[in-house]
Amino acid sequence: MVGGRVRLGIMSVPSTSARPVVANSVWPRLEPLLPQVTKPIQYVGGELGAVVKEWDAATVRWALMYPDAYEVGLPNQGVQILYEVLNELPDALAERTYAVWPDLERLMRAHGVPQFTVDAHRPVGDFDLFGVSFATELGYTNLLTAIDLAGIPLLAADRTDADPVVVAGGHAAFNPEPIADFVDAAVLGDGEEAVLEITGIVREWKVEGCPGGRDELLLRLARTESVYVPRFYDVDYLPDGRIQRVVPNRADVPFRVHKRTTMDLDAWPYPKKPLVPLAETVHERYAVEIFRGCTRGCRFCQAGMITRPVRERSITTVGQMVQQGLEFSGFHEVGLLSLSSADHSEIGDMCSGLAEQYQGTNVSLSLPSTRVDAFNIELAQELSRNGRRTGLTFAPEGGSERIRKVINKMVSKEDLIRTVVTAYTNGWRQVKLYFMCGLPTETDADVLEIADMAHEVIRAGRAATGSKDIRCTVSIGGFVPKPHTPFQWAAMQRPEVIDHRLKLLKQAINADRSLGRAIGYRYHDGEPSLVEGLLSRGDRRIGAVIRRVWENGGRFDGWSEHFSYQRWVEAAAEVLPGFGVDLDWYTIRERDELEVLPWDHLDSGLDKDWLWQDWQDALGEYEQDDCRWTPCFDCGVCPAMDTEIQIGPTGRKLLPLTPVNGLKLSAGAQQ
């Protein structure tokens, strides 16, 4: 007999019998509510990879949150890494919490159930630290829900020694000013070492008997010069509403707070024990970051600017992490993540090595390939050896050659068409092209060129393959200017302008009916982008707008079915005139060189003069090359942060795996 079937009997026991319930668990009160809400499984916890440690054995306790629903939050790499790093410490524990949907929020309020962790269902208010990771500013209203449900005072100023220290992290924390009223601290940059340092400071302070209370603890954190404590800084405004200055209000805190950079990613091979979700989530795969940072220099890209320099993980460490991650989790998909994965110095060997190792095993590999480059197709072919063909996405970002020079996305129309046609001739029937609308200096004509490009792609694809069975999808996102980028000074376009351009583009695509039929068109309205822009470049005065929106029911602003533009416009109109500013002032106003920006005292390493020069280069349509292959262009990060580019090639190869048959018992799957 080859294989065969096996039958199993399973028991899922009710809480009244065997499930272990810890002393401070809210589970007995939460469980009766769960049959009344959608997808209750997301609140149950107990995933493979989850850790429940003894409360009393830990000195420092973290509740970690990704402020979105479980299905989005669970796969988040940042939270998974910090969760594992912290739980490896013998005297610390970390548990996870996610945003609860409004149906459960209502029931929790009615029954007095506080915000809880999914691991041991402990109240978030019981922890020493409440760390929240923001990938986007649209999670701010969910932060307020979680703080409020946890029973923690909404305003940091009203909190006592009994409340957790609320710490913000993630990319949005590079300008935490809009949530300065609600968080006690913010950490800029890589979290691995930062959480260990913060844990050390909290541990010492607690062991000493908490001298000086909360104020002393926050002061000790601020003195590291890498933890920003908003309450220790005062913001003064000019009569016209602009910021005059941001200065410390006590002698012993630094004028500027610097980002953290984790060097040598091989020394931090996390996640080792990835979480395997119980409910369906947006990504179900083992994800390994193959490098961090990007110096391609796309001027709209905050991630590329604030994560410099490039630090590669070596091919051998990646191979080892994939092997152990798959063995532990049982996932059948591996994602090789980074900001531009095909740029890894050994990506070719990495892809062919992994494809070889997992040939015939139903493990599929995926590469978020965003560069428009024929090399990407070679890689994609390597990765689809197992027969599974993942989608191909290319991101020219701008429709015209001119706008691509403005944003520094160096790709010609000819390159793009050649690349896509190569994909079609290699068997792909469908490619996705990603663009942005609302970019600085953009005109209707720039956007309409997207239609020309899509038409030519289909025309050339049909000619090359002799088949009408090829398609492309044009996907358009709204441009949002972000802090610490050359576009931080740029004016946004009004949503009406964006929506009008999107409508013109749709007409242009369908102007040729034969070509138009082969082109899919997806876009986002201009309105959510404008609100994201308000929040991303906001200052402390925006906190009152966020609060008003939240009080009026604002939740899950990243979800179109929950987002209400009207609610934001009304809250801004109620709150901002009191400060002599308005929504337009924050969004469609271009800033000048000397204006003090709300995040100027937060140091991403980028030299503000260089950013301004790059902004001028953008307006002059002048391109900037990548410092990995051309001389340093003095963005300022390496000298300011005492870091350096870490790239290969190492010259090492992945060795074929010894085939493993039969059962593997993962040791310590549950603790």
| End-to-end CA separation in angstroms for the chain | 37
Binding to other proteins by residue 36, rule CB under 8 A?
A: yes
CB of 324 to other proteins, least distance (A): 15
Is-contact 332 362, C-beta < 8 A?
A: yes
Residue range at the interface with other proteins (CB under 8 A); choices 34-42, 185-193, 604-612, 619-627: 34-42
**Alpha-carbon separation of residue 645 from 50, 310, 600 (angstroms):** 35, 5, 25
- Among the listed residues 22, 23, 34, 64, the single contact to other proteins using CB under 8 A: 34
Within 379-418, which residues bind other proteins (CB under 8 A)? Answer: 387-388
- Among the listed residues 90, 330, 391, 427, the single contact to other proteins using CB under 8 A: 330
Interaction pattern, residues 234-273, with other proteins; x per rule: CB under 8 A:
----------------------------------------
Residue with tokens 């913060």: 198
Spatial neighbors of 663 by CB under 8 A, at least 6 apart, are none
**Alpha-carbon separation of residue 357 from 33, 89, 345, 590, 658 (angstroms):** 47, 33, 20, 53, 9
32 vs 580 by CB, closer to other proteins: 32
CB of 27 to other proteins, least distance (A): 11
338 vs 366 by CB, closer to other proteins: 366
**Alpha-carbon separation of residue 510 from 308, 413, 476, 506, 517 (angstroms):** 41, 20, 16, 6, 7
Binding to other proteins by residue 359, rule CB under 8 A?
A: no
Binding to other proteins by residue 110, rule CB under 8 A?
A: no
45 vs 176 by CB, closer to other proteins: 45
Distance of CA 63 to the CA centre of its chain: 19
560 vs 666 by CB, closer to other proteins: 666
Interaction pattern, residues 275-314, with other proteins; x per rule: CB under 8 A:
---x------------------------------------
19 vs 242 by CB, closer to other proteins: 19
- Among the listed residues 26, 30, 43, 47, the single contact to other proteins using CB under 8 A: 47
Residue range at the interface with other proteins (CB under 8 A); choices 40-48, 102-110, 466-474, 620-628: 40-48
Binding to other proteins by residue 14, rule CB under 8 A?
A: yes
**Pairing state of beta strands 392-397 and 311-312?**
unpaired
23 vs 665 by CB, closer to other proteins: 665
CB of 284 to other proteins, least distance (A): 12
CB of 16 to other proteins, least distance (A): 6
- Which tokens sit at 492? 């946004």
Instruction: Enumerate the β-bridge partners of residue 185.
Output: 167
CB of 31 to other proteins, least distance (A): 9
249 vs 661 by CB, closer to other proteins: 661
Binding to other proteins by residue 5, rule CB under 8 A?
A: yes
CB of 7 to other proteins, least distance (A): 5
Q: How many CA atoms lie less than 13 Å away from 399 in the CB half-sphere?
A: 29
CB of 590 to other proteins, least distance (A): 49
Binding to other proteins by residue 48, rule CB under 8 A?
A: yes
Report the distance separating Cα 361 and Cα 661, nearest Å: 11
Question: How many residues bind to other proteins according to rule CB under 8 A?
Answer: 43
Report the distance separating Cα 397 and Cα 411, nearest Å: 10
Strands in 364-366's sheet, in edge-to-edge order, are: 286-289, 333-337, 364-366
Q: Give buried/exposed letters for 293-309 (b at 16+ CB in 10 A, else e).
A: bbbbbbbbbbebbbbbb
CB of 277 to other proteins, least distance (A): 11
**Which uninterrupted H or E stretch holds 187?**
strand 185-187
Report the distance separating Cα 270 and Cα 288, nearest Å: 8
- Altogether, the residues listed in the chain come to a count of 671
**Which uninterrupted H or E stretch holds 550?**
helix 542-551
CB of 33 to other proteins, least distance (A): 9
The closest alpha carbon to 460, from 364, 452, 192, belongs to 452
14 vs 239 by CB, closer to other proteins: 14
630 vs 666 by CB, closer to other proteins: 666
Is-contact 111 29, C-beta < 8 A?
A: yes
Summarize as ranges the residues that interact with other proteins (CB under 8 A): 1-14, 16, 18-20, 32, 34-36, 40-41, 44-48, 278, 330, 332, 362, 387-388, 661-666, 669-670
